[in-house]
A and B are shown apart, each in its own frame.
Chain A
């Protein structure tokens, strides 16, 4: 199988413009003859559904939440990048492109990333026109900040709630189209399968989460905007409902899954407080600007601390190990996310972790408070400190904060070409659900940018190219392929309900999460991954023989919903392990301990691994087939990162 990324010819800066001219257009009068299904209503889904409806297509939008406004894009805090260069500090489309490619450790496509940087400027204009209240200067113009170690101030933000404000903007555009009758909304509806007819995606099977009704929806194209799969780790900063099911169902229907092992782990999350923990909460990275990261210098002191015999404030200066400042004198506490995360893991593995579970490090503001005063620190981080205190019950003005890394974002996803189409014609993947723009590691404030770029400014052009060529013949939803899929879905539901085993769905999810975190998390080894693969296979077997799903299908049944999702997570977990095992290098969000520089940095192998690893499902119980899409770099020079 050969993957055609359909990257247009020509110089990097002209590819998108040229492509936009070359794509086929759908006559305005004919647009209303097409139906498009959009699954997921986060930034990518809501913006795509609204934009396509504005063009005249008939859109059906689905989400599992009770309202499209609740998609997890809403939780993004920091901001959104755009190469506006409003600050006159040397930013440009090329610089944003370059930073993104480099930040992704050279594992993304140049053309996609350049296009992302190019349309980033339009996103800001669009959002402002919708009434998104971005932060402003006293003169009334937009404010920017530098984010995630960027050398220029290109991040637009709305306090710590940028994702919320952008999503509400997209949701309002979507709501307008619902009112216009161009979008039909299906909240509390979950995708159960993707239906293909003659090799093309022609619809989906859904389950109404209130009534349990399994329904068929046909269309001319299907857009999966269903976010990432961080919840494969059970604990992550994702929402409880975030899942891989839509992408995984598509994968099992033939769509390739690309780079599934690339996982971003965020260093500043609130640590796990016990076995009851259901999710992790991120705290803005900006805290590392003033907080100092440390652990006790010796295991003995750490033990006393864990037993509560001493307080962190009792520990003398010489007994504190400010390990990031020690190892990375020039970047110190501001090293990139993956470096900060990995080092926290190392010191905790040494037994120097500081909370009861031994999996936390200090982020201390004592010196900053002494230097700038409590009021200054309160003005900068007051809301974050309050949030921390609310969750942990500790006062961070008096005691150092405790933090630990957590899974935050998944760079991998469904393989898509330049048009955002998967290898199944008519099936698209947008936003975090695809793999396309972040390479092996995503820069801060880039996820919102990609979701909206895909939905507002890419798909409205590229989908027309496909639809114009595919005709508008309608397929009825009682077509045999739909009936067949419906039956498969119903059988699967019946199977899950009939097992009536001993263990709850959460039990399996937690076990999967632990395997993934221990062996396919921040630092991976061939040995650990091999072990993990066997464990996941075993877990899968046990799940399908011993899971306990209560209740019936014909009702609101949250255990059944979770059972579907966890079953898919287990299968995805195995593929992530395969992908991590095959990639014998370290890059961005994939760190193999065998492949590191003498200083402990990720060691890439550009000669052998500068490709996209796309995996093809080969049938139940079969090993998946690896298909490689080589990455060709014509504009940037591949360099090694260094933060010493």
Chain B
């Protein structure tokens, strides 16, 4: 098929940037979306033009590195990662608009590449259990009801791609933050630091400049891993009970 691509080009973080149109032809329906961009880039390189920069790595939907706001939706029309989106989801002759994630906390580095280190800093604020290597109890000394383990697992499948932020009209990172807070709040291993974790991670989330949640549900609807909104409710509970009962004045 033949397509028109309207792609955001921006030389670097300080550049203003703008859209540019490209044509690609003979695109196979079996190509992944990123392979289609590979074709475009080979074409651009042949002409001596700078290829379109975009983030990607595993190309199997798990590393969370790929992004792209495609035709008005993060990761495109399906609820999956861009690398798992295939061209059969598009029609011949279609114009596809490709934009970077848009958020203050995700500055554009070049073209479609954004900096998501704000997510790392949220985790650094408390998204862990403070155990050193060695000296831990036997794994089976911590029994965990299967239902709890499964629910914690569901929260833990977050790939940190940032689609939740990209989808949210407020560029809020609550789904991401709540997934980690939830996972550890549900598990016995997370109890010791439970209150402190909630307070610190949320403070960091705010400091990064993400917006607030207005419960539109867009994040969960677009999340490639289907992380549930119940995590946000749980985070809210965790936070409120932490601020009223913790001893951090």
Contact = CB atoms under 8 A, between A and B. Distances in A.
Interface of A: 47, 50-51, 54, 65-72, 74-75, 84, 86, 122, 124-131, 133-142, 158-159, 161, 163-165, 168, 171-173, 175-176, 178-179, 185, 187, 210, 237, 239-241, 273-274, 276-279, 281-282, 387, 390-393, 456-457, 460, 504, 506, 548, 550-551, 555-556, 558-559
Contacts of B131: 126, 129-130, 173
A186 to B, nearest CB: 11
Contacts of B86: 390-391, 393
Contacts of A237: 60
Given A126-B134, A274-B31, A558-B51, 15 more contacts: A66-B65, A69-B64, A71-B63, A75-B62, A125-B137, A129-B139, A131-B128, A131-B129, A131-B187, A133-B150, A134-B149, A136-B144, A276-B28, A504-B45, A559-B45
Contact of B109 (A67, A136, A210, A278): A210
Interface stretch (B91-99, B118-126, B240-248): B118-126
B12 A179 contact: no
Interface in B47-65: 48-51, 53, 55-65
The 7 closest A-B pairs by CB, nearest first: A140-B143, A172-B128, A129-B136, A133-B153, A273-B30, A128-B139, A51-B133
Contacts, number: 218
A276 B24 CA distance: 13
Contacts of A171: 123
A277 B35 contact: yes
B117 A187 contact: yes
A558 B160 CA distance: 22
A392 B29 CA distance: 9
B120 A158 contact: no
Contacts of B31: 273-274, 276
A125 B139 contact: yes
A122 B138 CA distance: 8
A559 B110 CA distance: 14
12 contacts: A67-B120, A71-B63, A72-B57, A75-B60, A122-B134, A128-B189, A131-B129, A135-B149, A159-B153, A276-B35, A456-B134, A460-B133
A74 B129 contact: no
Nearest to B204: A179
Interface residues of B, number: 79
Contact of A65 (B60, B65, B115, B133): B65
Contacts of B34: 278
A66 B55 contact: yes
Interface in B19-33: 28-32
B146 A136 contact: yes
Contacts of A173: 128, 131, 133
A52 B190 CA distance: 23
Given A172-B127, A390-B86, A129 B109 contact: no
Contact of B123 (A172, A550, A558): A172
Given A67-B160, A164-B157, A390-B86, A556 B58 contact: no
B113 to A, nearest CB: 6
A168 B12 CA distance: 30
Contacts of A163: 62
A179 B197 CA distance: 13
B237 interface: no
A555 B110 CA distance: 9
Contacts of B55: 66
Contacts of A172: 123, 127-129
Contact of B146 (A47, A140, A158, A387): A140
A125 B141 CA distance: 9
